[in-house]
Chains A and B, each alone.
Chain A
Amino acid sequence: MDDAQAVGRLVRRCKAGDAAAWEQIVQQYHRRIYNICFRFARSADDAQDLTQEVFIKVYRTLSSYDVERGAFMTWVTTITRNLLVDHFRKSKQDRVTDSLDASPSENEDAMPLGQQIQDKTTPADMRSQSREAGEFVHRALQKLSPELREAVILRDLQDMDYREIATVLKVPEGTVKSRINRGRAELARLLQRTYRQVM
């Protein structure tokens, strides 16, 4: 509750034209927003551009934020999610539901994801295996549909509760839970073919 009040005061100062308050908001939330954008985007450059767009939109619409109606983080995450959805609609990258056996996009190699993972992983290099695991999970995450991907990202990577996620996604809490479970299971199926021993 103290955090919410502190953020509320910060937002009010920012609305009054306090540039230092805005800088503090950017410092406080840029890491979180960047991580959400990075998990949706395919590259760090895209994530950086998207993060800047998010903060530009937050800056322009800050006067419309009502402290009494919800947490600032939820409001910012909603803006982020809407902008990401718009971005991927424009770039025609939505509805990517390729499985491990499906043919990858034209920007990638000609092999399916499962073969790519197998080819890049050698049994002798166990230490690099754990380091590369994050990259493989990230790539598998890109294969999920946007609805499942955003649900699992907000829950398992951003640690948001179900009610906040339901607010951001504008769907009932039960739908959020269902999407999270399906997203987790789909991700596991994508990765289990090559990483059964790790699990």
Chain B
Amino acid sequence: MPVEGRNNMQCAEFDALLSDALDGLLTGDKSESFQAHARVCTVCGPLYSEADAGRRWLKSLGEIEPPANLVHNILVATGGRDTARAKSGQQVSWAAAVRGWMRPVFSPVFAVARQPRFAMSFGMAFFSLSVTLSLAGVKLTDLRHLDLRPAAIKRTYYETSGRVVKYYENIRLVYEIESRVREFKRATTPAEPASQPQNKEHKNNTSGQPEQRQERNYSQGPDQPVLAGLPNDPPVVMLTIYRRIA
């Protein structure tokens, strides 16, 4: 039970002075009052002896020797490469700095791309691209002669546009000629009673031209006679088509 010492020292004051007493900083009357309170107080007395014992236990602990590689590991973890560079006096090149910045960004992408399943896909894509370029007549060696001046690009643009339009018009000419030929043949062929071939022809007509049925005169009945006729000896037409491919 806490008691008040002969020098009127309270337990709270004893507790506050305990550290100084253990450090040997108490002198004179303070020290005597402290020791007197420790002798008579049943709480502070054991506390003083236990704290003193604990302090001596802790002081008995020696310093632990750190691992030999600790400093090296710390320097590596905190930029050991920079330290080595500074020691060697080397300067970081601009390209190396860019590579250093890009590496953490692209490394995961390359790691994924190196997987076999993606490698096969990339291989097929490359093969398809090379075949397409070969069929289109593009040669990689021609790229060396590529003129990227604005005037040259403009000229190339107009040339390409002209070729495309010409090619398109040629195709249109072909279809017009073909359709004329069909009309001419239909006009020279005697009237066919069966309508089934006409249906087939319509199904196979991919010319994009309007259907011939729309050109019919629906006011004309099936039993009405055909007024137009052809001579018994129809003329033979020889037509040669030159398809121009740019």
Contacts and interface: CB of A to CB of B under 8 A. Distances in A.
Whether chain B is bound by chain A comes out as yes
Interface of A: 18-20, 22-23, 26-27, 30-31, 34-35, 38, 44, 47-48, 51-52, 55-56, 59, 133-134, 137-138, 140-141, 152, 156-157, 162, 174, 177-178, 180-181, 183-189, 191-192, 199
B57 interface: yes
A157 B61 contact: yes
A139 to B, nearest CB: 11
Interface in B47-74: 47, 50-64, 66-67, 70-71, 73-74
B58 A52 contact: no
Contacts of B87: 19-20
B56 A23 contact: no
A22 B78 contact: yes
Interface of B is mostly: helix
Given A51-B74, A56-B78, A181-B19, A187 B57 contact: yes
Interface residues of B, number: 36
A177 B19 contact: yes
Interface of B: 15-16, 18-19, 22, 47, 50-64, 66-67, 70-71, 73-75, 77-79, 82-83, 85-87
Nearest to A182: B51
Given A181-B47, A199-B56, 8 more contacts: A19-B79, A22-B83, A23-B75, A27-B71, A30-B66, A35-B63, A44-B64, A48-B66
Interface of A is mostly: helix
